């Protein structure tokens, strides 16, 4: 890695047809830290997140320039396998989408597609992933029941557990608490603060207070540009740019 940086991004530009969705993004993501990405809707946060595991490849109208290095490997190099990338860089979306099957089968679905078939290994992955997402104690006695019967907060933690079962190195989260109540939000936040010892985490959130609570570093995006990035305490107390201050104090957004 580049020192202790897990991801290094150089001059990233993303175009959606003729519209520039991201402009000249340069940043480094330290390993085993939480990077919060804040900014108003339409600022490019989700496009940025999806660039990190090449989900934007699935949209023909999108064109990407620049470099994104994961452990000093260029993820957009022609020989870099996007399927393998998405195993290493998992993503949790805003809306929890459990598969219409049991809790157990939700978690083993990905590993089984990847060739894991030994039941003892699958059992271990299920228990470990559910414990890491702080859901095990709530569901350990009903693993064979439908995941659709879980509450919204439980479903989101199940989606997190499903990502963890693939044993990634980086976890991306796109507004994971946007539809959750305060208690469920606190559970997700607690899980992330514990998980960062083993994973690099990038959290997109419209909730500036959430970024202030759990992010080690925070980047402010506005109108396709990254205005500034720095330690969260600095961004929220003495930001360098007046636009950052205006956003976090609620003057716009």
**Of the candidates 74, 27, 14, the residue with the CA atom closest to the CA atom of residue 202:** 27
- pLDDT of 134 over the 60 cut: yes
**CA 25 – CA 6 distance, rounded (Å):** 16
Kindly report the average pLDDT of the chain as a whole number. 95
Which of 4 and 69 is assigned the larger pLDDT? 69
Instruction: Report pLDDT for 253.
Output: 72
In the predicted model, what is the mean pLDDT of residues 102-120? 96
Instruction: Report pLDDT for 251.
Output: 86
159 with 150: CB under 8 angstroms? no
Instruction: Report pLDDT for 250.
Output: 87
What is the chain's length?
Answer: 253
**CA 38 – CA 219 distance, rounded (Å):** 6
In the predicted model, what is the mean pLDDT of residues 222-232? 97
In the predicted model, what is the mean pLDDT of residues 114-119? 94
Give 3-state DSSP helix, strand, coil % of the chain, rounded to 5. 40, 30, 35
Instruction: Report pLDDT for 230.
Output: 97
In the predicted model, what is the mean pLDDT of residues 219-240? 97
In the predicted model, what is the mean pLDDT of residues 221-248? 96
In the predicted model, what is the mean pLDDT of residues 177-194? 94
Q: How far is CA 43 from CA 149, 222, 224, 230, in A?
A: 35, 5, 5, 18
In the predicted model, what is the mean pLDDT of residues 169-175? 97
**Of the candidates 78, 75, 41, the residue with the CA atom closest to the CA atom of residue 170:** 75
170's enclosing H/E stretch is strand 170-174
Helix intervals (H) in the chain: 45-51, 82-88, 103-113, 119-132, 136-139, 152-164, 182-195, 208-214, 232-237, 242-248
Place 1 in a pLDDT band, splitting at 50, 70 and 90. very low
Q: CA quadruple 101, 103, 105, 106: dihedral positive or negative?
A: positive
Domains of the chain, each with CATH number or no CATH: 5-248 (3.40.50.300)
Q: What is the pLDDT of residues 73-100, one digit of tens each?
A: 999 999 999 999 999 999 999 999 999 9
In the predicted model, what is the mean pLDDT of residues 10-19? 95
In the predicted model, what is the mean pLDDT of residues 114-133? 96
**CA 253 – CA 250 distance, rounded (Å):** 7
**Of the candidates 12, 44, 45, the residue with the CA atom closest to the CA atom of residue 26:** 12
Place 252 in a pLDDT band, splitting at 50, 70 and 90. confident
Helices (H) and strands (E) in the chain, counts: 10, 10
Instruction: Report pLDDT for 3.
Output: 55
In the predicted model, what is the mean pLDDT of residues 37-45? 96
Joined together, the tokens standing for residue 70 give: 């994961």
Place 2 in a pLDDT band, splitting at 50, 70 and 90. low
């Amino acid at each position: 890695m580049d020192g202790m940086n897990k991801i290094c991004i150089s001059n990233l530009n993303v175009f959606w047809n003729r519209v520039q969705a991201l402009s000249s993004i340069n940043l480094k993501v330290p390993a085993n830290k939480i990077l919060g990405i804040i900014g108003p809707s339409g600022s490019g946060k989700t496009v940025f997140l999806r660039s990190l595991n090449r989900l934007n490849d699935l949209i023909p109208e999108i064109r990407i320039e620049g470099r994104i290095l994961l452990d000093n490997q260029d993820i957009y190099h022609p020989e870099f396998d996007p399927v393998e990338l998405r195993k290493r860089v998992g993503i949790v979306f805003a809306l929890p989408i459990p598969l219409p099957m049991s809790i157990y089968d939700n978690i083993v679905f990905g590993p089984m597609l990847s060739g894991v078939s030994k039941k003892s290994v699958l059992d271990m992955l299920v228990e470990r992933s559910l414990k890491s997402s702080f859901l095990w104690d709530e569901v350990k006695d009903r693993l064979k029941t439908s995941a659709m019967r879980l509450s919204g907060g439980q479903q989101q933690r199940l989606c997190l557990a499903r990502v963890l079962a693939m044993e990634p190195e980086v976890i991306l989260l796109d507004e994971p608490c946007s539809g959750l109540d305060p208690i469920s939000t606190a559970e997700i936040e607690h899980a992330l603060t514990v998980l960062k010892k083993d994973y690099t985490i990038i959290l997109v959130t419209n909730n500036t207070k959430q970024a202030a609570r759990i992010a080690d570093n925070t980047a402010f995006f506005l109108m396709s540009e990254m205005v500034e990035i720095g330690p969260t305490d600095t961004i929220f107390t003495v930001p360098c740019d007046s636009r950052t201050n205006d956003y976090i104090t609620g003057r716009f957004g």
